[in-house]
Amino acid sequence: MAAQSLGASAAHIAPRKVPVLLLKTKSTPSDAYEEILAGQEHLNEPLDRSFDPRFVPVLLHRFDNGAMQRVRSLLELNQISNEPGRKYGGMIFTSQRAVEAFAKVANCEKGDAVNCLQNVPIYSVGPATTRALRAIQAEPPLQIFGEHTGNGEALAAYILEHYHGWYSDREALPPLLFLVGEQRRDIIPKTLMDQSLAHDRRILVDEEIVYGTGVMESFPRDFEEILYETRHEPERWIVVFSPTGCADMLRGLGLLNQHGDKVDLQRRDGKSYIATIGPTTRAHLMDQFGFEPDVCADSPSPDGILDGIVKFTMRHI
């Protein structure tokens, strides 16, 4: 009987909590990374640990009021529409911050101004950006496409086919408006306006820089504090979302050599693991610091990060 009781107690022991330090600002009103990482019910195989997501903001975003006013004017004048003669026939979003800027504009407008978008395609690079777009109130809801693509290259290829189909009755395609930050890749405009494409296949893209990005002055200190708080944990993960702040992250972990330009692998502590949201950040760590992260998510999403961490854990830890 005692053995049965002991077995029952062991079965109910709570799994070990593993800190996951997310180097990003927590999204509001909810954050999908927090929800997915903190949950275990969707895992194919149960683990002997659970994850404790914590946020350490790295980037400081400043919205450009002038750019936002220009977007507001486009809405007020119904210049983003499927009607002939309008300036733009659709929009592109590849970051949640660009969606936030647009939402600030949209929420300041009367319903009719945003509702003019109901008949144009809104292109989104992945689930997080799509989720943010769907939160914008419009009646009927915005028509969002491209969530499945996951990166700029795939989204650009998708737009080339989808946008031509959307305006198949037009001799000339209307341009697309792309809301971006000052630091961004140019793969989408380059692909859509590639001179090697037939003239009638090219899609003109106008970029509007609606926010700027910098490193939060408090990040090195905040990161150092959370590393100190978790110093006794036998395992912890650091999830990196952008090349910005990578040097401070590696320096905080004590991984940089005496020159501060490359990672000294002998300095790894055997319990701090690093995951990147995608190949761009992974390439930055490898090219600039000679360091390959433990995990690079197959898809830039909460599920992609969780899946990568779980697979690594089951193989190596």
Please choose, from the candidates 189, 227, 169, the residue with its C-alpha nearest in 3D space to the C-alpha of residue 23: 227
Q: Summarize the confidence of residues 199-228 as an average pLDDT.
A: 94
Q: Summarize the confidence of residues 263-291 as an average pLDDT.
A: 95
The pLDDT tens digits of the residues spanning 135-192 come to: 888 878 899 999 999 888 999 999 999 999 999 988 889 999 999 998 777 899 999 9
Q: What 3-state DSSP class applies to 223?
A: helix
CB 235 within 8 A of CB 216: no
The rounded distance, in Å, linking the Cα atoms of 126 and 144 is: 11
The rounded distance, in Å, linking the Cα atoms of 98 and 313 is: 34
CA distances from residue 147 to 150, 167, 245, 299, 307 in whole angstroms, order as listed: 7, 20, 27, 11, 19
What does the angle CA 309 – CA 214 – CA 272 come to, to the nearest 5 degrees? 25
Looking at residue 197, its amino acid is L
Same domain, 112 and 201: yes
Higher pLDDT, 243 or 30: 243
The pLDDT tens digits of the residues spanning 279-294 come to: 889 999 999 999 999 9
CA dihedral angle for residue 59, residue 63, residue 67, residue 68, rounded to 10 degrees = 130
Q: What is the pLDDT of residue 41?
A: 52
Asked if residue 145 belongs to a domain, the reply is yes
Higher pLDDT, 213 or 218: 218
Which of these three, 214, 248, 269, is where a domain ends?
214
Same domain, 210 and 79: yes
Q: Does pTM top 0.95 for this prediction?
A: no
Looking at residue 262, its amino acid is K
State the SS3 of 66-113: HHHHHHHHHHHCCCECCCCCCCECEEEECCHHHHHHHHHHHHHCCHHH
Same domain, 282 and 148: no
Which of these three, 168, 187, 214, is where a domain ends?
214
Asked if residue 49 belongs to a domain, the reply is yes
CA distances from residue 92 to 160, 187, 211 in whole angstroms, order as listed: 12, 13, 15
Q: Kindly report the CATH number assigned to the domain that includes residue 139.
A: 3.40.50.10090
Asked if residue 276 belongs to a domain, the reply is yes
Same domain, 302 and 184: no
CB 81 within 8 A of CB 239: no
CB 302 within 8 A of CB 32: yes
Same domain, 142 and 263: no
Angle formed by the axes of helices 127-134 and 96-108, nearest 10°: 10
Higher pLDDT, 300 or 212: 212
Domain ranges, residue 191: 62-214
Asked if residue 9 belongs to a domain, the reply is no
CB 192 within 8 A of CB 159: yes
